[in-house]
């Protein structure tokens, strides 16, 4: 069976239990959904209907399953958003992007100052909400951007909108992307982290921007758009794929805005063939990194509720796939991502059986399924599951 449109939703960081290689990442035993459900039994009737009860470690509830379901393992040498998303679309990241466990070296910071004209404060491994509160007074006093990183390959630049206007922050990030973080310092992403509010009550805004490094391998988006299909990204998708191969991009601020844009774009593309892909980032940025179990649980339940309104819109010539890019167990040590298998559920009203898709050996199986659906050939990695669907 083939479909006219494929819809991919990435629940950012919603992992389903430690991957076989989790120990190498210090994450043996991590389980984002399982540990949340153990603390806050999840009410997720729609995800259950799609098969979540068979793949995530959640409490039992009698449910009629109408979706096909499986787990996917990441092959890429990294557990960040970029490597996960690129692998979905056929680009396994073999050489890890550079990380800075001791913060950024002096020559890199010197280049930052020379190229952008700005000094900096910070230069730490930090959690973004914590560092802006701690360095807020310094930031206002000096007018300098706050620079920090994490276990991920990221160069994050935070600034209050009243200290460095948004356009200026974006300009600094663009220069950092093109001229500072180059060569051995070519990080996965430069991230603009604008915030507003007053000391003790700072709020990071939805104007965050991710500046991805350029992928060196061709991915599914390009095959699709070169064959005349539309490729519409919602949320961070455009940024994550460095805006390559997309025909349209709809940047959003939060999960409800993602669902609104996704719904609007689905309805707007009913006469076309192509791909609609959305990243829902709140799970990760608002709750996973903050190690907020209750908030994470509520966010999953709110997503499930929105999904309940979205599912009836999906037509028989459309295929919906819902997955995640890595874990971020809110009960785990630290504040970073966790190496986990990710859940995969697949739904179309045209399908009549709930098929167990098993444990997929690479996220690229998702992209190869899209390639097969549109007869676009074979990616360097990935085994499509289109022919397994019933």
Ligand X SMILES: O=P(O)(O)O[C@H]1O[C@H](CO)[C@@H](O)[C@H]1O
18 near Mn ion, judged by CB under 5 A? no
Dihedral Cα 113, 118, 121, 125, nearest 10 deg: -60
128 binds ligand X (CB under 6 A): yes
Residue 325 interacts with, from ligand X, Mn ion, none (CB under 5-8 Å by kind): Mn ion
Q: Which of 35, 37, 58 is nearest to 48 (CA)?
A: 58
Collapse the DSSP code of 328 into the 3-class scheme (helix H, G, I; strand E, B; otherwise coil) and give the result: coil
**Residue 289 annotated as lining a ligand binding site:** yes
How many residues of this chain interact with ligand X, rule: CB under 6 A? 10
210 binds Mn ion (CB under 5 A): no
Residue 296 CA from chain centroid, whole number: 15
How many C-beta neighbours within 10 Å does residue 228 have?
10
Nearest alpha-carbon partner for 233 in 217, 215, 246, 216: 246
By CB under 6 A, residue 328 contacts ligand X: no
- Which tokens sit at 139? 């930031």
Measured distance CA(112)–CA(190) in Å, rounded: 12
325 in a known ligand binding site = yes
Residue 128 interacts with which of Mn ion, ligand X, none, CB < 5 to 8 Å by class: ligand X
338 is a contact residue toward ligand X (CB under 6 A)? no
What x/- string results for residues 177 through 196 when contact with ligand X is judged by CB under 6 A? --------------x-----
Residues 247-306 touching ligand X, rule: CB under 6 A, are 285, 289
150 belongs to the binding site for ligand X (CB under 6 A) = yes
Residue nearest to ligand X (CB): 128
Instruction: Please tell me whether residue 274 adopts helix, strand or coil conformation.
Output: strand
- CA–CA distance, 239 with 260 (Å, rounded to integer): 19
68 interacts with ligand X by CB under 6 A: no
Q: Is 9 helix (H, G, I), strand (E, B) or coil?
A: strand
Using the rule CB under 6 A, which residue among 37, 87, 124, 152 binds ligand X? 152
308: which 2 tokens?
Answer: 């309940």
- With contact defined as beta carbons under 8 Å apart, do 144 and 168 qualify? no
Residue 12 as a binder of Mn ion (CB under 5 A): the answer is yes
Q: For residues 23-82, which are near Mn ion according to CB under 5 A?
A: 81
Binding-site residues for Mn(2+) = 12, 284, 289, 325-326, 337
Give the binding site for ligand X (CB under 6 A): 81, 127-128, 150, 152, 154, 156, 191, 285, 289
Binding-site residues = 12, 284, 289, 325-326, 337
């Amino acid at each position: 069976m083939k479909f006219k449109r494929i819809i991919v939703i990435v629940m950012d960081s919603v992992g389903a239990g430690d991957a076989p290689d989790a120990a190498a990442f210090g994450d043996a035993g991590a389980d984002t959904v399982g540990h949340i459900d153990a603390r806050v039994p999840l009410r997720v009737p729609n995800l259950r209907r799609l098969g979540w009860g068979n793949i995530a470690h959640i409490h039992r509830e009698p449910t009629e399953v109408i979706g096909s379901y499986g787990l996917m393992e990441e092959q890429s040498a990294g557990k960040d958003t970029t490597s996960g998303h690129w692998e979905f679309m056929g680009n396994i990241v073999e050489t890890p992007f550079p990380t800075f466990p001791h913060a950024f070296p002096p020559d890199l910071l010197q280049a930052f100052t020379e190229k952008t004209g700005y000094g900096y404060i910070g230069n730490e491994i930090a959690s973004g909400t914590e560092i802006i509160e701690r360095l807020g007074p310094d930031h206002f006093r000096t007018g300098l951007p706050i620079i920090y990183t994490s276990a991920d390959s990221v160069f994050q630049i935070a600034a209050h909108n009243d200290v460095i206007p948004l356009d200026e922050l974006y300009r600094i990030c663009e220069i950092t992307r093109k001229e500072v973080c180059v060569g051995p310092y070519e990080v996965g992403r430069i991230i603009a982290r604008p915030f507003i509010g007053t000391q003790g009550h700072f709020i990071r805004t939805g104007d965050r921007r991710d500046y991805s490094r350029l992928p060196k391998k061709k991915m599914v988006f390009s095959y699709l758009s070169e064959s005349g299909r539309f490729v519409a990204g919602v949320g961070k998708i455009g940024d994550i794929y460095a805006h390559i191969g997309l025909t349209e991009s709809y940047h959003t601020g939060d999960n409800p805005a993602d669902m609104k844009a996704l719904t609007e774009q689905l309805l707007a593309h009913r006469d076309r063939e192509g791909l609609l892909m959305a990243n829902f980032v709140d799970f990760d940025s608002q709750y996973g990194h903050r190690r907020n179990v209750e908030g994470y649980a509520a966010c999953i339940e709110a997503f499930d509720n929105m999904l309940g309104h979205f599912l009836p819109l999906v037509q028989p010539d459309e295929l919906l796939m819902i997955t995640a890019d890595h874990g971020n167990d809110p009960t785990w040590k630290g504040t970073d991502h966790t190496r986990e298998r990710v859940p995969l559920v697949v739904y179309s009203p045209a399908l009549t059986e709930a098929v167990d898709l098993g444990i997929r050996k690479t996220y690229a199986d998702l992209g190869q399924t899209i390639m097969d659906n549109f007869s676009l050939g074979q990616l360097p990695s990935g085994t499509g599951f289109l022919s397994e669907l019933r």
